[in-house]
C-alpha cells in the first residue's frame, strides 16, 4: 500500500524537522549528564531512535523541549543501567540526606556577612569537576538553565517536575556548587 510508504516518508521528514535541528544541543545536554563524550554519543543515538519511533506522539507544540525531554529520559535510564560510582542520584541518598539537600539550608541558619561572600575564581576544570559531583537532579536543572538556556517552564516540562521544584533545585544546586568551589581552598 502506498499509504504506509507515505507515512514512512513522513515520519522521517517529521523527525528531520522536529528532532534533528536540536541535535547539537541534545549532544551537549547528554555530555553534561553523562560526564563524558563517548557515553553522550551513545545516549544521543539511542534518543534519536526513540524520537524517530515516537515521532507520531509529537504534539506540535515545542519541538525543542520535546526533543530534549527524550534525550534527558534516555540519559537517565542509561545512567541507571550503566551506573558508575561517580554519578549520584537523589534516591541513592537516605531520606534524611535528600530532605537536607532539597529543602534545608546548606550553611545552617547562619547568615553570611557581605564580606564573607567572596566572588570566586575557579578555572574550567574545577567548575567541571564540581558540576560532576552534584546529584544528577541538581546537575540537570543547572545544565538546562545555563548551558541550554531554557526557561523554567521548559525545564519543568523536560524534567517532569513542578516549577516550584525546578526553582528550589536550581537554587540548591547553585548553592552546592558555590560550597564545593569554596571548599577547595
The helix/strand count (H/E) of the chain reads as 9, 1
In the bound state with other proteins, the residue whose beta carbon lies nearer, of 18 and 92, is: 18
The answer to whether residue 4 forms part of the interface with other proteins (CB under 8 A) is yes
For residue 107, the cross-strand partners are 109
Count, residues near other proteins per rule CB under 8 A: 68
139, 107 contact by CB (below 8 A): no
Site residues (CB under 8 A) for other proteins, limited to 23-82: 23-24, 27-28, 31, 37, 40-41, 44-45, 48-49, 52-53, 60-61
Question: From its phi and psi, is residue 142 left (phi > 0), alpha (psi between -120 and 50) or beta?
Answer: alpha
Stretch that binds other proteins, among 68-76, 78-86, 93-101, 114-122 (CB under 8 A): 114-122
- Distance of CA 78 to CAs 46, 60, 109, Å? 9, 27, 38
Cell of 53: 519511533
CA dihedral in degrees (92, 161, 152, 59; nearest 10)?
130
Task: Summarize as ranges the residues that interact with other proteins (CB under 8 A).
Answer: 1-6, 8-10, 12-13, 15, 23-24, 27-28, 31, 37, 40-41, 44-45, 48-49, 52-53, 60-61, 104-105, 109, 111-114, 117-120, 122, 124, 127-128, 131, 142, 145-147, 151-153, 156-157, 161-168, 170-171, 174-175, 177-178, 181
Amino acid at each position: 500500500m502506498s499509504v504506509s510508504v507515505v507515512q514512512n516518508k513522513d515520519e522521517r521528514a517529521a523527525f528531520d524537522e522536529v528532532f534533528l535541528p536540536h541535535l547539537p544541543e541534545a549532544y551537549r545536554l547528554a555530555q553534561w549528564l553523562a560526564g563524558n563524550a563517548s557515553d553522550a554519543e551513545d545516549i544521543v543515538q539511542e534518543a534519536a531512535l526513540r524520537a524517530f519511533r515516537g515521532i507520531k506522539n509529537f504534539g506540535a507544540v515545542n519541538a525543542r523541549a520535546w526533543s530534549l525531554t527524550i534525550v534527558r529520559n534516555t540519559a537517565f535510564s542509561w545512567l541507571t543501567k550503566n551506573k558508575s560510582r561517580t554519578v549520584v542520584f537523589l534516591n541513592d541518598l537516605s531520606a534524611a540526606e535528600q530532605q537536607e539537600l532539597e529543602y534545608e539550608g546548606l550553611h545552617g541558619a547562619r547568615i553570611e556577612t557581605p564580606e564573607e561572600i567572596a566572588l570566586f575564581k575557579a578555572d574550567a576544570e574545577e567548575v567541571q569537576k564540581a558540576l560532576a559531583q552534584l546529584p544528577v537532579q541538581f546537575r540537570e536543572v543547572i545544565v538546562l538553565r545555563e548551558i541550554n538556556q531554557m526557561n523554567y517552564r521548559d525545564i519543568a516540562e523536560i524534567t517532569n517536575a513542578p516549577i516550584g521544584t525546578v526553582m528550589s533545585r536550581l537554587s540548591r544546586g547553585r548553592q552546592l556548587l558555590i560550597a564545593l568551589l569554596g571548599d577547595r581552598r
